């Protein structure tokens, strides 16, 4: 899908026409959003899926209330991490039996990074450096720093700029690098990194790679197995619409699966958990990446979002996402030209995820004013207004209306009011 006219000639009715011709239009009905709301924060928390409340009710009233403990077997609770893992694999290009849904992204990163370092340490003990993006989501950096400290074995976390990653690590890939942890799409700017070429550059340097797919799973085509990557992690609550705090996933390449040494070796990763043996023996295959008992209500609700993503052609999603962000960027640049706004999301499609980020010196207050009008994006330090574009429930007219609202707010300095300076704990 391409935008036929640029904004010099484009108007709201042209956007309405684009929405009428949209192949993904019907998916809007799979979600429940409040009236009079434009929801541009699906890159942070996806929208509520249509059957979520009913599914939670069913799990609570029937499976828990009536089935009680029997439901671990009869309702398939025990198998949910693997069952949902298969559904995630279908979205991110994992092989059968390569992925489980469990824990949080942060915890899964700890497990994956620990296992990768152990593998590397056996093969190349002199490699003690972990590289990650300076602009990676801070939790990933903190988890790596925490792991290095726990290991107390000379590991060092080094931060590299996004440009260094895109260029294939010309300055940072030395024979001391053991592991590279990369977020596929920068959470602040929306910059996308090429998985295949970046993975090749890392492997050529003798290091392993873990990809964080939080901001790309469900938003664009991913071919984990085909890319040659080693491991990947990601969440289900953004573009996969799993619900607040829904469980994350972990994928490990087939080749590495049974060499994966689980640092959080709880009973769910045991080969025979119900033998209650005092001796640990890791399960073969993906159950090895589990740790302990999972939140079944949350996991059951997350399945609805995964089913929607599995039922859609990701190439069509990507095409519409790029058309939406092209339109957004074009409108910002032409209709807000006299304001101190900078688009920080890359213009090149190959480097763009599914969001548009712009900066404004009063970014927080501007976003607060937009949210007061029912146009929900979010704000990230410093000065960044983020607009997530989820093609399944966002249309071209909503992009038009958002930029027009921004124009009104900026032209009339509506952001300049005391209530728009007050920050909650979550921005």
- 127 or 215: whose CB is closer to ligand PLP? 215
**Is 282 annotated as ligand-binding?**
no
> Which range of residues in 69-77, 134-142, 269-277, 333-341 is near ligand PLP by CB under 6 A?
134-142
- Find where tokens 């899964």 sit: 108
The correct pick among 23, 97, 124, 139 for binding ligand PLP (CB under 6 A) is 139
Least distance from ligand PLP to the Cβ atom of residue 187, Å:
5
Footprint of ligand PLP on 170-229 (CB under 6 A) = 183, 187, 212, 214-215
Stretch that binds ligand PLP, among 34-42, 101-109, 161-169, 284-292 (CB under 6 A): 101-109
The reply to whether 357 sits near ligand PLP by the rule CB under 6 A is no
Selected binder of ligand PLP within 89, 100, 195, 248 (CB under 6 A): 248
Tell whether 66 is in a known binding site: no
In this structure, are residues 291 and 264 in contact, taking their beta carbons and an 8 Å threshold?
A: yes
The answer to whether residue 400 forms part of the interface with ligand PLP (CB under 6 A) is: no
Q: Minimum distance from CB of 215 to ligand PLP (Å)?
A: 6
Q: Residues in contact with ligand PLP, total (CB under 6 A)?
A: 13
Say whether residue 368 binds ligand PLP (CB under 6 A). no
Least distance (Å) from ligand PLP to the CB of residue 397? 28
Query: In which order are the strands placed within the sheet that holds 99-101?
Result: 99-101, 249-252, 231-234, 208-212, 177-183, 129-133, 156-160
Q: Which is nearer to ligand PLP, 235 or 240 (CB)?
A: 235
Residue 362 near ligand PLP by CB under 6 A: no
- Binders of ligand PLP among residues 257 to 276 (CB under 6 A) are none
Place of tokens 């501007």: 366
Report the distance separating Cα 396 and Cα 14, nearest Å: 9
Whether the ω angle into residue 335 lies within 30 degrees of 0, i.e. cis, is no
Distance of alpha carbon 56 from alpha carbon 65, whole angstroms: 12
Nearer to ligand PLP, 14 or 180 (CB): 180
**Is 139 labeled as ligand-binding?**
yes
The response to whether 137 counts as a known ligand-binding position is yes
Tell me the catalytic residues: 137, 212, 237-238, 386
| Minimum gap (Å) between residue 181 Cβ and ligand PLP | 10
> Among 100-108, 269-277, 364-372, 406-414, which window interacts with ligand PLP (CB under 6 A)?
100-108
Residue of 197, 195, 235 whose CA lies nearest to 84? 235
> Quick one: 211 or 268, whose CB is closer to ligand PLP?
211
Q: Is 293 annotated as a binding residue?
A: yes
Is 106 a binding residue for ligand PLP by CB under 6 A? The answer is: yes
> What are phi and psi for residue 313, nearest 5 degrees?
-80, 115
For residues 41 and 140, which CB has a smaller minimum distance to ligand PLP in the complex? 140
State yes or no: 27 annotated in a binding site. no
Beta-carbon contacts of 102 under 8 Å, excluding residues fewer than 6 positions away, are: 81, 108, 247, 248, 249, 250, 268, 289, 290, 291, 294
Give the span between the Cα atoms of 65 and 77, in whole angstroms. Answer: 14
CB of 312 to ligand PLP, least distance (A): 22
Pick from 152, 188, 239: which is nearest to 380 by CA? 188
The residue among 235 and 312 lying less far from ligand PLP, judged by its C-beta, is 235
Q: Does 235 bind ligand PLP (CB under 6 A)?
A: yes
Q: Does 55 bind ligand PLP (CB under 6 A)?
A: no
3-state secondary structure 92-135: HCCCCCCEEECCCHHHHHHHHHHHHHHHHHHHCCCCCEEEEECC
359 belongs to the binding site for ligand PLP (CB under 6 A): no
Contacting residue, 33, 90, 104, 271, with ligand PLP by CB under 6 A: 104
274 is in an annotated binding site: no
Q: Please tell me whether residue 316 binds ligand PLP under the rule CB under 6 A.
A: no
Stretch binding ligand PLP (CB under 6 A), from 62-70, 104-112, 365-373, 409-417: 104-112
| Site for ligand PLP, rule CB under 6 A | 104-106, 137, 139-140, 183, 187, 212, 214-215, 235, 248
Binding site residue list for pyridoxal 5'-phosphate: 105-106, 137-140, 183, 212, 215, 237, 267, 293
């Amino acid at each position: 899908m391409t935008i036929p006219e640029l904004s010099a000639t484009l108007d709201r009715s042209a956007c309405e026409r684009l929405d009428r011709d949209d192949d993904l239009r019907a998916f809007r009905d799979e979600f429940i959003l409040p009236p009079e709301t434009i929801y541009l924060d699906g890159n942070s928390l996806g929208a509520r899926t249509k059957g979520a409340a009913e599914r939670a009710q069913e799990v609570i009233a029937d499976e828990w209330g009536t089935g009680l403990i029997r439901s671990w077997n009869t309702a398939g609770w025990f198998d949910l991490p693997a069952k949902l893992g298969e559904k995630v694999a279908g979205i991110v290009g994992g092989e059968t039996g390569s992925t489980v849904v469990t824990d949080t992204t942060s915890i899964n990163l700890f497990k994956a990074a620990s296992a990768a370092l152990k593998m590397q340490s056996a093969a190349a003990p002199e490699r003690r450096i972990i590289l990650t993006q300076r602009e990676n989501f801070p939790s990933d950096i903190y988890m790596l720093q925490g792991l290095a400290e726990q290991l107390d074995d000379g590991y060092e976390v080094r931060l590299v700029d996004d440009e260094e990653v895109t260029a294939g690590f010309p300055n940072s890939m030395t024979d001391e690098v053991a592991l590279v942890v990369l977020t596929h799409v920068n959470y602040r700017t929306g910059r996308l990194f090429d998985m295949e070429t970046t993975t090749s550059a890392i492997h050529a340097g003798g290091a392993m790679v873990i990809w964080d797919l939080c901001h790309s799973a469900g938003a664009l085509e991913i071919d984990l197995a085909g890319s040659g990557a080693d491991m990947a992690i990601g969440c289900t609550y953004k573009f996969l619409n799993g619900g607040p705090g829904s469980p994350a996933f972990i994928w490990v390449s087939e080749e590495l699966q049974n060499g994966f040494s689980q640092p959080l070796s709880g009973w769910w990763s045991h080969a025979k958990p119900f033998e209650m043996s005092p001796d640990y023996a890791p399960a073969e295959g993906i159950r090895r990446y589990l740790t302990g008992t999972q939140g079944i209500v949350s996991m059951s609700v997350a399945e609805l979002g995964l089913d929607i993503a599995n039922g859609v052609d990701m190439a069509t999603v990507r095409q519409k996402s790029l058309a939406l962000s092209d339109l957004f960027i074009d409108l910002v640049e032409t209709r807000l030209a006299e304001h101190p706004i900078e688009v920080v999301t890359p213009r090149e499609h190959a480097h763009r995820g599914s969001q548009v980020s712009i900066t404004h010196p009063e970014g927080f207050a501007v976003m607060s004013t937009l949210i007061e009008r029912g146009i929900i994006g979010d704000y990230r330090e410093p000065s960044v207004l983020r607009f997530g574009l989820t093609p399944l429930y966002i249309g071209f007219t909503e992009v038009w209306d958002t930029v027009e609202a921004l124009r009104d707010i900026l032209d009339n300095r509506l952001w300049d009011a005391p209530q728009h300076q007050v920050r909650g704990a979550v921005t």
